[in-house]
Every structure is written in structure tokens, then in C-alpha cells.
Structure 1
């Protein structure tokens, strides 16, 4: 849906009209206003050399301005006639036009708005896990969690490993997300080993809603981020951080009003606000009909048919299947692992072998909880069925956090008896045994282990093996970053950026290894990795990158050259966060040490960042001097193209601030030309941004908008909040200058929220803030305070995906599906809502009780009233009673 309510497509006749108006000298803004379309639509149409083949009629009507009043009238009386509306709204236009507007509103309300478990999709800021297998046997638990969340703010799904806590939480997150105005955030904690990183990890998952300034702690920033939000926060796998999670969750509940938390953990949090839902094993029989098989048998058949094409439980195999599920205590993970054996065994063979093996292994693990014994026995049995090579590789692969690719496995885990050439075949065998999971994304294949399986593998390693693997893992991570450095200004940049992003957990684990081991080799490898200046754009957030740099600078036995590099990187991070004084000190230290060592590359970097820092602070002359000195050094140094380009971008920004548009354009065009030749895209996005900035200063607003949108499209391939924020602000300014007040306000709200996610607004630069205030004033004046404030607030809640879709006029992907089970003419959901309506609850109160959005409830109420044949909410109770009596008769 077009966020502005304007058309995003044109038919052939409209295309011709746009072309003719443009040829007659009409501006893009003028064409957009005359034809009631967006300016972006006009620009796209002008890019076509011939009329589009899709002849669609023009959407919208003159009655659209009455939509809020029509909607309010329909809320009061869903069956109000067009004639009544014509009189009540004092509509002077055609009744047919009004009827069309009413019909469109009713059609929009009738579209399904509830996300069901069959359509699990990703959250916009933090991914909700996706599963390729069906969701089996937990519908009642899903409804129970909905009810608990309706009554309380903290629900913990507790149970042993492998019981299905994560799967249930993921499905719940997708199903309930529309009930929360600020969305759902799913935070996976399994790979997090440091309690101190817990607030930052959650803060990172919030996307644009982070509220952070450099002087705040991560906890303070997190509290500020969610203080006024209506949000569902899902924290998955809390057990190994249970104390820290309990303390932070308690604080969140005390300091906010509308944040709800769904946690999964093997151990309950044991805090007063907690409502615990213990997730039981899947049942062997259907409790509603004991003669029917239960969810465990259903899961067995589902997973067995996935492992063995055409599999189905027959009369002859039903008892054996039940025996298997009973011996496995109905634990989903255990059932899935057992089903993988059906490629070589019949169900009867599986039951017989499982009987003997479980009895033996359970006896050997009497100290653990009963269901842990069953799960352990299943994993142990799966381990024993592996070849020696598979067992060894399983254990070695446990060194990875959150996943790995084939190249990483070959680099780190090869060695007797699994050489590099046999890694692929061995991984294939582990996938077939359900030990590894294969995932795909962005054209790449990766592998991961469930945490239970990963910990089991690690238990098979000796202390010496673990130490050697951790060092090999660190070396691999360091090599990964070195490769990124070498490829950062070429066509491979986007690919290596993706590899950094998908290995974030591995990088964290490797850095922690170095800090723990504290020997010269690991410290040097890790500190060189952390000193890489652009990691904040792909591997870590600005705040986390700074944390790691500070950690390594705290070690006295660091090499001098690395200390200089770390200080230069720290100065850059502090500059981006707006900490002028601290940045100046770090950069002065870096420059001094670099001069003493004769390290011109680090000296140039320090001088360049000093130039940026002083320019943003308002001293243009000193800023230009430092930048010029850095550029002179870069001219003499081979292989530092990335930083040289960055210095040109920063010089261009300085020149644009001084109104020297020719010089500014020269710097931006230099980077644009160089990056375009090499196929680089990240710095290209900054160069395009810069050209948009020049266009804005020159008063070419439409050109500035086009450049800003192109820059945002380029930047989206990277995890660069800083660049996306800078471009969004420019787009907002250009929109305000072009007269699009509402669009400018939304973008300003989004940009402001994004700046606060890593530091001060507009780098804490007073002259940049003053520039923004000019455009804010234009937008506010054109809209009025009330409309401007509402639009700006709407922008502040946008996720990165929603912002980009809005900024680029893209259609969001949102097509939830529903299922219905009629009861007395109503679906189960409609029946629930009817009961609440009968008891006098408002739509908002019903939405809170059922963890649904108010809009969803409104749609259900309208359907329910129509099905019951009544016009007023007050008539529902009597209608339900009559319908029930008629059904009984």
C-alpha cells in the first residue's frame, strides 16, 4: 500500500499525459499534484520509452478525503446506507462516487488481518525464525499463551531442551504481531555468552526505535527505547543468562507500561511478575477423542514422510510408531532425530533398537531430569549411529556460534580422521542424520546445529582440543576480516559484507576467546580484527564496535602499531556518536603514536578523522586543513583506496556546508566515478548522497530526491545504520523543500529515531542540526502542528524495512492467511469477540484481551454483526441467545 495514499502505478493513458505535461515544461511536482500521483511515480513513468502494457484504471476518488468520517460512521453503524451518509456528511458530489468510497473501505476491512501459523514470516528488525516443516500439535498452547499475554505482561515458556519452546515462540510472535502498535522483536540469546552484552543485544534488535546517547549505558538506552512503546519482546533461550535476564526483564516491566515479554527458558526466571507456561511433551492420544492419535504420532508421521518420501503410518506400523514416541517421551526434537533413521530402518526396527539403546543410556544419566535423560539418550544414540568421521566432525563443528558455511568448516575442522576433501561428504551425512540443519539465504548455503546438539558435540572434546579449535576459529575470523579489507573497494564488497554480517556471532565468540586466553598471538589477531575501521557498517553496531575497541585498548601488552590503529578507529566511532572532546583525545594519541612508528597509513586515517571531527564541530578551516593533509598522504600510499574515498566524501560534505557546490561536486563525482568502475557499492551510495546534497544546496529539489532515493537503494545491502540515517535526513529535507510536508515529517521522524540508535542527532553537529531545523519548520508550517506531529511520530516507529518501502514507494509484503471453523454461524474468533461484545467490552479492551490489533477486532466485529443480522452492538447478547436456542432445537 502506498504510504501517502497516492498512486504508485500508471496506465498507458496516464503515461501519455505525464509525458505531454513534462514536454510542455511542467515540473515533476506540478505533474504529481495535477494527476494526484506521487512524484516518484512520475519519475518512473518518465523513464519508460513506451506506454506500460498494463492498462489499469486510475485509483482514488474525490471522496477519499471523507474516509475518516466514513470509517467513523461505519464503526457506529456498519449497515448505514449510502443515502444516509450522503445526508449526514453533506456530500455535494456524486452518490456513485460516495458509494465507491464506502465499498472500498468495507472491502479493506473485510480483508483478513490475522497472521496464522501457516505463514510464519520475519520480523522487520529482528528475524522471527522460519521453519520449512509444518507446525504440529501446539494449537492449544498457542491459544493459552495468547490468553496469558492478554492478562499479564511477562510469560515464560519453560521446558527441557528439544521440547519445542523456540518453535512455539516463533509462531506466537508471527501470530500476535499485529496486536502491538510498535511490532514484535524476536531476540535469540542462545549464542550470547556475556551477561554484559544482554541489554545491547536487545537494543540492537529494536531497529530504529533504539534511544541511545553515548553517555548512557546500554540498559539506560534500552529503557529509553521502549519507554513509550507498545511492543512484544520475545527473548529466546534465557537459561544460561537467567539471572541477568530476570534482572533486566524486571527493570523493563517496572519502567514501561505497554511492553510485554514472551521468554523461553529451561529454567524459570522466578520473578514476581512471571506467568509460567510449562511446555509438556506431545501427547500420544487426542484428549478430545482417546481413540484418535495424538500430536506426537502426528509429528512422527509428518517428519517421517519428510525423511522418507511416501511414508505413511499403516495399521501394521501404528503400534511401533506409538512405541517410538512413547519411549521418546513425546519430545519433538527426539522424535525428529529418530525419524531421520527411517531411511535405513523400518518403524518396527526403529522401535526395537530404540528400546534397547534408551534403557542403556538412561541408566548412565540418572542424575538428569527425566526428559533430559530421554533427549540425551536420543542424541547419544544418534551420535553412536554416526561414522567415526561424522562423530569427530560433529564435535569440532561445535566451535561455531549460530552457523557456518562449508569453507569455514574446511578451514577450521579438517584434520585426522576428517581431511578437508571429506568434509563435504561428512557434513552431508550429518544433515541426513538431522544433526545439522541446512539453511539458505542470499544465494548461500549455511549450516547450523540446535543448541542441544551443539553442546553435546562440545562435550566430546578434550580441553586441549577445545583450546586448539578456539584458536583456529579466531584465526579464521581474522582471515575473514582481512579478506573483507582487501575486497572492500571492489565488486566483491557486498558479498564479503554479507559474510561479516552472517558471522557476527562467530566474530563475537572469537573476540571473547582472545580476551579470555590473553596470550600474545590471540590478542594480536583479535585486536587487528577489531581495529578494522568499517566493521560498524557490516559486523557490529557502532556502539558494540566501540565496546570491543575499548576492551582491547585496556590491555597493556598490546603491540604499539595496533594501539595506534585502535585509537584511530575509536576516534572515528566517537566522532560518529558526537563525542567531540573524547574523539579529539583518541585521535591525537593515534596521530602521535603513528608519527613515532612512521606509520603513515594510520597517521592519514587519524588526520582524516580529525578533519571530520573539527568540521562537524564548526571549525571549517581546521577541518579542511586536516582533510587536505590526509588526502596528500593517501596519494603517496598504495592500497588505502577505501579511506581515501571516505576523505573525499567528507571534504565534499564540508564544501557543501560552506556553499562551495562546485568543489563539493568534484569530490563526490571523483568517488562516484572510481566506485562505479570497480563495482563498489557502499561508498558509491555516499557519493550519490553527496550529489543529492549538492543538488539540494543548489535548489534542485527533485534532483536531490532522486539522488537520495538512489543512495538509500544502494545502502540497503549493508548493515549501515549511519549511512541510512544520513540519507533519510537528506530525503526528508528535499521532500520538505519540494512541498511534500507529510512525507518530510514521516522521514524526519524516522531519521531522528535512527540517529539516536547510535549517538547524537546529526553527529552532534550544531550547524547540521540548524540546517535540519529549517526544513522541519517548512514541513510543520505546511501541515500544521497537529498533523506534523502525528506524521513525525509515525515515522519514528518505522522499522528499517518499512522505512525503505516508504521512502522508495515500494509495496510491503503483507498477506496473512486465516482459517475458520464456524460455530453458530460464527468463526471461533468471532464467537469469542461476540461474547466480549455481549458483556459490554470496547474494541480496544477486546484487542488487549485477545492480543489482537484494534483494526483486526473492528473487522471481526463487523463480520459478526452481519452474520448475526443485527446493526447494533447492544443487540449481540440477545442474538447469541436466540441463535443458541435455535441450534439446540
Structure 2
């Protein structure tokens, strides 16, 4: 029994199906059903983890066969140094030939997956390691690629993810950790990579959120650069593996994670000589690829092969060192490159440099690359190392120019560093940004004196603070989306800057950071989640050095707590802020406003109106805070909607909509349109309500505001339930419920809101029937924010089985996600071997899936499966 079957059993039981009926429907014993019902959570995956000391021998056998498939068993044994029994060798050779045959017949790669980094240079030189990974990924759920910096761990992992993506029906994702410096934000980084936006943040609650989301999904995660967050990475990865059944993880790290689930793949330097194999060694293949990018006419010839192999050998097959050396070919011949490299490495050895040879060769190559840069390029290399995430030209000009680098020299310098392979160019959504490998970033920053490093970090903090300041100043206006996107795109640097500043709470930087955390009350709508915003606010409120900021921070924290449904804590901090900050008109107005919202969610409508209308009068004395006045009017309109004052509600929402539209503002405009939909819903104009909800979601999709997205999704679900689209309503209700739980209580923990949702939910359940409703609802609960938005706007089709009224009823067959995937491939006429290669599973495993599919569908021949999909 797996987690999917456990969920199906509980769903069927909750809809009234007896144990006998469940057992018949799912083709299992009654005892299995009873055991599932006795469990409060899905069973853990107790799959054993293979540990074979002979893995490297098998890999060597595969490499020899791949290079010379005609060799006999005896010659293969000689080449790999086999000293065991011949019968064992024969068995291993047969296994290796079969595996390579299956890999050769694998289908071609499909289109590029947008979630993966797109490299400008081809992947070469690691075919053996890639084959090993492909064989491991079918049996191991965690593979750690470990090795020193510059070995190519990230490139191998990302390419493997791209190569294997067809085996993972729910996609592959890369979680980049090099820019993360706070262990408590690790779950947020995973959520960001999964497209879950603001679903949760920290501690076990977030782990549960991630596990719920990933529970039955077949996904591959690449956790890149785990070494500096080793304990946190190991803990989270272990929890994800225990709590899910089909998630596989490739981790890259300079150190191993040290957890039982881990299968280690130590990445060695590339081969530098051909030996007895026909194929070019990996290092030479990489050299030719990178050299031809510098000199398009370059190729390996008999006359230059020895020099190329000598360069690769002197560099110990280190990929990063080879790439840096190739950049010199624009001014040196291959023989000159080899001679100069020999000289540098000899000097390095004579200088008694310690450490392994490969470390010295990499150090020498990076040193050489640095020395061959102009002084201005050296400064730019060192200064751009301050960015922990990517950066663009504007950022580089503002943070790195001056004191030896002219503003107009930034463009030329970046161009030169890209050409020298120091910077990587990345293009996303039409924007060009640059990144630096962690090894090179560490080297660059080490070139700064302590005084230079401190000055650079101060400029970096100032830039990040300016981003937040501009967001606050331009929030209600045409630049809103630009500033919101800037916060989102640079949140790694903003997190780092704030965390570093708050380490010294008595500094001016800490004071400015604390002010911004308190003042940017909508930070949770710009890619910084609701729980994360509360984390920062708690740090500010808890520091005695920020006593004069505490009232403003408390007002903002009161809003965040209210959105989470933590009304008791919100009431306490808001009343305290009013009492101690009474001389600050903004603190008084905002705290009174949020108290009204808190009262509304608690069902005290009269006091809610009193607080909100009082704050309206207070805001009139702060005319520049039109953003807060509009927000208050939206909240007041919600109260009016629930108390039947629809004219007043409509007037409040329409006032905000018109003002926002005239001002070029989008975020509050989307909430105002939502409010008009709420009025239409209460007035029982359900079709209009659905139209307003869709418009609001479309306006809102540009922001990382899971609160608004969830609220609007619920409204659309309610309207769909009354408009005859019960199936869509169920999907949307499932998605909304999952997202509410990710950052706080359902519908702010407000009983009257929850009661209203239950009314519409029951109508959809009645229209569909309990079983079908739960199937649709479960489908929605696994959606990411982006998936939900596309579905809600009609850009993707229904994700769960729809009710077929045009043909005779077809029994719903409980195929697990993997079985359904296999069944669809059977319907396409694929053989077991083809299916195994596509899904990176063994043919024996596929045989078992095919048998169960045919048994559940009541069929005897695989050809009948196509007919089933034509009737469902």
C-alpha cells in the first residue's frame, strides 16, 4: 500500500463506501483496507537503499562497452582489472549490455523545461557519470554529487535533470542554495523553486506544507550547493524523503550530507588521456568544445592533440580550470598555452603550496585568469562577488562603479568577464542578468581588503534598502509592478543584506533595515512570504535597540498576524501600538484600521465598522498615504458586503477601482474588482461574480501575493458552484483550501467566511456526488499558484476526471498516478521496454505495473487499454 492508495481508501470511506466495497474497487484485501483506515497519515516509504561497493566496477564495465562494444568478456575483464570469478563477470557484462541497450533506445529529449537554468555552452565530457546517474535515479531517491569546487557538480546535476525530465510526470526543479545564508529560510527557497510562491516558510509547519504538496507527485528536485547549509539541508531532505513516495532528489555539495537515505556519487576529475578506449577523454572533449567557442576554426588534430592532452593533464582534468585556460586561446596558440601553464604550475610547486594537486592547478588557473585581467576588470570581478544572487548592469553600475572603475567601464568590464568565463550570462523573461560560480565568487571576494569588503557590503546594503524604499514610495502608482518585480528578482540579496544588518542592531544599517521592514507593509506581496515577513517583524519588535520603531513594526505585524488568523496576538500588538504610539498619526490610523479588520474576521461587525470609519477620518490627516486609505476602503467594503449593505459596499470598491485605474495602480485595483465580485455574489448574480473574480485574478497574477490569489480563487469557486460548474468549483476549492493552510488559518480563521464557503461547497458536492467531488478537490489541492491561476483563467483544461453525461456511465477505476501514466503509454502502443526507458525504471517494474493496470481495468490484453481512454 502506497500513499496514493491510502488517500483513495480514506476518500472512499469518508463518502460512505464499506470496507468490502473499497477492497473490491481497489483490488486489495480487506485487511489492507482496515490497516489503511487505522493509519492517521500515509505510510512512509521503507524502500531499502542500495549500497554497493562494486558500483565503480560496474561503471567501468559500462564505459568499456560503450567505447568498444565488440570486445569479449575476457578483454573487458582485463581492462577493468577484474580478479573475481568469471561467471560473476559474465553476469555483470550481460547486465551492462542490457542497460546500455535500454538507454540507447530511450526516446529523444522533449522541449526545454523553463524551470531549469539554460546554459550557453554544450554539456560535454561527463557521459559516463551521466549514465551512472541515469541508472541510479531509478532505484535511489537521494543521490549526492560531492566533490570540490570547480568539478562541475552543478552542471552535471542540471543536465541530468533536463535529460531525465520525461521520467518525472510532475516536473523537475532546481533549488539554488548558494545565495541563501539563513538556514531558517531553506523551506522558502524550496517553495520558491516549486512555484508555490508564499506557501509557508519555517519549521515543521513548512515541512508539512511541502510534504503535502509533494506527497503523491513524481518530481525530481536538484538541491544545489548544500555545503554551507549542511545540517538544514540534510534535515529537510530527509523529511521530504520520509514524507513522500515518488520524489527523487539530486543534491550537490562539497561535503556529503551524512544521512541514511544518501547514495553518494563522488565526482572525480575528467579523464585526460584516451587509454585503450576509442572515444576522446572527457577533458579533451571539454577543451575542444570550449576552445571552438573562442576560435570557431579550432579542432583537435594529430598535430595539436599532445599539447591539448598535456594542458588537460596539467590541470588535473578540472572542468573549471580547463574552461578558464581555454579563454587564453584568443591570444595564445595551444603550444604557447601549454608552455606558459607548465611554467606557472612549476612555480606553484616550488613555492611549497599545500593541498591536493587538483586544488593547486585550479588555484593556478584562477590566479592566471585574474592576473590577465586589466586592473579595472580585476576590481569588477572582486566587487561583483558581493551579489549573492544574480545581478544586472544597473545593479553593477550602482554598487561597483567608482574608485578605479568608471560608470561607462562597467559594460565593457562585464563583457570582458563573460568572455573570460568569469561571469555567466543568463536571460530570463527578456531580462539579461549575470551570475558567478561560487568558487570564483569566493576567490573574487578574497581579493578585497577588509576595508574594501566592508565598504562594498555597505554599498550593497544601500542598494537593497533603496529597492525597498522605492517600492514603498511608488506602491500606489504606475511603477508598482516594476518595483514589486525588482524586490522579487533580488530577494536573495535583500535577505542577505537585511540579515547582515540586523546582526548589529545598534548600527545605522540595522536601524534603516528595521524601518523598512516596518514601513513596507505589503512586503508579503512581493515574493517575501507572509510568514517570512512576520519573521523579520518579530526580530525588529524583539530588539530593545529598535524601541522607537517598535510601534510601527507592531502595526504592520498586526496586519500580518490578522491575515494569518492569529487574532488574539494581533489584537494585543495593535492595542499596545495605539497606546504607546499615540503621538504618531500613521501608527494610530493604521493600527485602528487593522483592528477593524481583525474585528470583522472575528464576527464583530459593528465594532469593525466603528474602527474602520474612525481610521478613515485619521487617514484624512495623512493625505499622502492613499495606499492605506484605499486598503481600508476595501476592508470596509467587505464588512458592508457581509452585512447586506450592498450599495455602500459597491461604492467603496468602485471608488478604489476608479482611483487605482486612473493612477496606473494594479494591485489594489485587483482587490477592488474582487470586491465588486463579492457584491455580485451576495446579490446572487453568480455569473457576474465569476467574471469579476477572473478579472481580479488576471490583474493579480503579476504579484507574488498568495493572500489575494487565494481569496479571489475562493470567490470564483463559490460563483462556479452556483453557475453550474460544480467540477471547476471543486478543483478551485481544493486549491484555495491548500493555499490558505500554507500561510495561516482557513479564510483568516473567520467563522462567518468559513460558513459561507461551506454553503457553496455543499452545493458543489451535491451536484457532483461525494466521490467525484473529492476527486476534483484533491486535484486542485496539489496545484501550485501558477498552475491554479492558469486553470482559473481557462488557460489549461480540467485536471481531474469530468462527469460524462453524453455516454453511458463508465466506472471510475482507481489507478494510481504511476499506473495511469503506464496505462496512457500502453494506449499509445508503447512496449514495456519503451515505457521502462521513458520512465527510467526497470522492465520488471513496468511488467508489474502493466499487470495491475490490466487487472484493475478488467482486461486481458494490452491493446484494450486504448479503448478505455476513449470512453473515459
Taking structure 2 as the reference length, what is the TM-score of the superposition?
0.77
Equivalent in 220, 225, 248 of residue 232 of structure 1: 220
Is 1:686 the equivalent of 2:678?
no
Question: 1:846 Cα shift?
Answer: 11
Q: Provide closer, same or farther for how the CA distance between residues 840 and 244 of structure 1 changes in structure 2, counting only shifts above 3 A.
A: closer
Equivalent in 350, 358, 378 of residue 391 of structure 1: 378
Question: CA contact under 8 A between 2:168 and 2:839: conserved in structure 1?
Answer: no
Q: What is the SS of the residue equivalent to 2:268?
A: coil
Equivalent in 627, 634, 640 of residue 619 of structure 2: 634
The equivalent of 1:764 in structure 2 is: 749
The equivalent of 1:524 in structure 2 is: 511
Q: What is the SS of the residue equivalent to 1:133?
A: coil
Question: 1:129 Cα shift?
Answer: 2.2
In structure 1, distance between residues paired with 2:685 and 2:463: 49
Equivalent in 724, 728, 739 of residue 739 of structure 1: 724
Map 1:468-479 → 2, pairs under 5 A: 468-479=455-466
The equivalent of 1:410 in structure 2 is: 397
Equivalent in 321, 326, 329 of residue 339 of structure 1: 326
RMSD over equivalenced CA pairs, Å:
3.3
Q: Provide closer, same or farther for how the CA distance between residues 556 and 210 of structure 1 changes in structure 2, counting only shifts above 3 A.
A: closer
In structure 1, distance between residues paired with 2:146 and 2:391: 28
The equivalent of 2:407 in structure 1 is: 420
The equivalent of 1:354 in structure 2 is: 341
Equivalent in 536, 540, 543 of residue 531 of structure 2: 543
Question: 1:255 Cα shift?
Answer: 4.3
| CA offsets 1:552-601 (integer angstroms, 9 cap, x no match) | 222111151x2221111111111111100001111112222331xx2212
Q: Provide closer, same or farther for how the CA distance between residues 365 and 544 of structure 1 changes in structure 2, counting only shifts above 3 A.
A: farther
The equivalent of 1:293 in structure 2 is: 280
| CA offsets 1:814-861 (integer angstroms, 9 cap, x no match) | xxxxxxxxxxx99985686899997585363899xxxxxx99xx9xxx
Q: Provide closer, same or farther for how the CA distance between residues 588 and 837 of structure 1 changes in structure 2, counting only shifts above 3 A.
A: closer
Question: CA contact under 8 A between 2:714 and 2:732: conserved in structure 1?
Answer: yes
Map 1:784-823 → 2, pairs under 5 A: 784-810=769-795
Is 1:607 the equivalent of 2:592?
yes
Q: Provide closer, same or farther for how the CA distance between residues 533 and 627 of structure 1 changes in structure 2, counting only shifts above 3 A.
A: same
Is 1:720 the equivalent of 2:709?
no
The equivalent of 2:544 in structure 1 is: 556
Question: CA contact under 8 A between 1:208 and 1:750: conserved in structure 2?
Answer: no
The equivalent of 2:249 in structure 1 is: 261
In structure 1, distance between residues paired with 2:362 and 2:839: 44
In structure 2, distance between residues paired with 1:846 and 1:148: 25
Question: CA contact under 8 A between 1:686 and 1:723: conserved in structure 2?
Answer: yes
Q: Provide closer, same or farther for how the CA distance between residues 185 and 566 of structure 1 changes in structure 2, counting only shifts above 3 A.
A: same
Q: How many residues align?
A: 726
In structure 1, distance between residues paired with 2:352 and 2:765: 69
Q: Provide closer, same or farther for how the CA distance between residues 141 and 659 of structure 1 changes in structure 2, counting only shifts above 3 A.
A: farther
| CA offsets 1:530-567 (integer angstroms, 9 cap, x no match) | 1110111114111111111111222111151x222111
Gaps of 5+ in 2: 1-104, 798-829, 867-872
Is 1:844 the equivalent of 2:849?
yes
The equivalent of 1:700 in structure 2 is: 685
Question: CA contact under 8 A between 2:213 and 2:782: conserved in structure 1?
Answer: no
In structure 2, distance between residues paired with 1:685 and 1:114: 47
Question: CA contact under 8 A between 1:210 and 1:221: conserved in structure 2?
Answer: no
**Farther off after superposition, 169-178 or 157-166:** 169-178
Equivalent in 202, 220, 239 of residue 190 of structure 2: 202
Question: 1:283 Cα shift?
Answer: 2.7
**Farther off after superposition, 741-750 or 231-240:** 231-240
The equivalent of 1:39 in structure 2 is: none
Question: 1:801 Cα shift?
Answer: 2.6
Question: CA contact under 8 A between 2:187 and 2:201: conserved in structure 1?
Answer: no
| CA offsets 1:253-296 (integer angstroms, 9 cap, x no match) | 44444443221111111222211112223334567x72332332
Q: Provide closer, same or farther for how the CA distance between residues 738 and 240 of structure 1 changes in structure 2, counting only shifts above 3 A.
A: same
Question: 1:659 Cα shift?
Answer: 2.2
Is 1:508 the equivalent of 2:498?
no
Is 1:278 the equivalent of 2:266?
yes
The equivalent of 2:20 in structure 1 is: none
In structure 2, distance between residues paired with 1:682 and 1:763: 20
Q: Provide closer, same or farther for how the CA distance between residues 404 and 213 of structure 1 changes in structure 2, counting only shifts above 3 A.
A: closer
Q: Provide closer, same or farther for how the CA distance between residues 277 and 622 of structure 1 changes in structure 2, counting only shifts above 3 A.
A: same
The equivalent of 1:441 in structure 2 is: 428
Q: Considering Cα pairs closer than 8 Å and 6+ residues apart, tell me whether 1 or 2 has the greater RCO.
A: 1
Equivalent in 342, 360, 368 of residue 355 of structure 2: 368
The equivalent of 2:113 in structure 1 is: 121
Q: What is the SS of the residue equivalent to 2:743?
A: coil
In structure 1, distance between residues paired with 2:191 and 2:608: 33
In structure 1, distance between residues paired with 2:211 and 2:329: 50
Question: 1:507 Cα shift?
Answer: 0.6
The equivalent of 1:145 in structure 2 is: 133
**Farther off after superposition, 754-763 or 436-445:** 436-445
The equivalent of 1:7 in structure 2 is: none
Is 1:186 the equivalent of 2:171?
no
Question: 1:644 Cα shift?
Answer: 1.4
In structure 1, distance between residues paired with 2:839 and 2:568: 62
In structure 1, distance between residues paired with 2:513 and 2:845: 63
Equivalent in 376, 388, 398 of residue 401 of structure 1: 388
**Farther off after superposition, 832-841 or 321-330:** 832-841
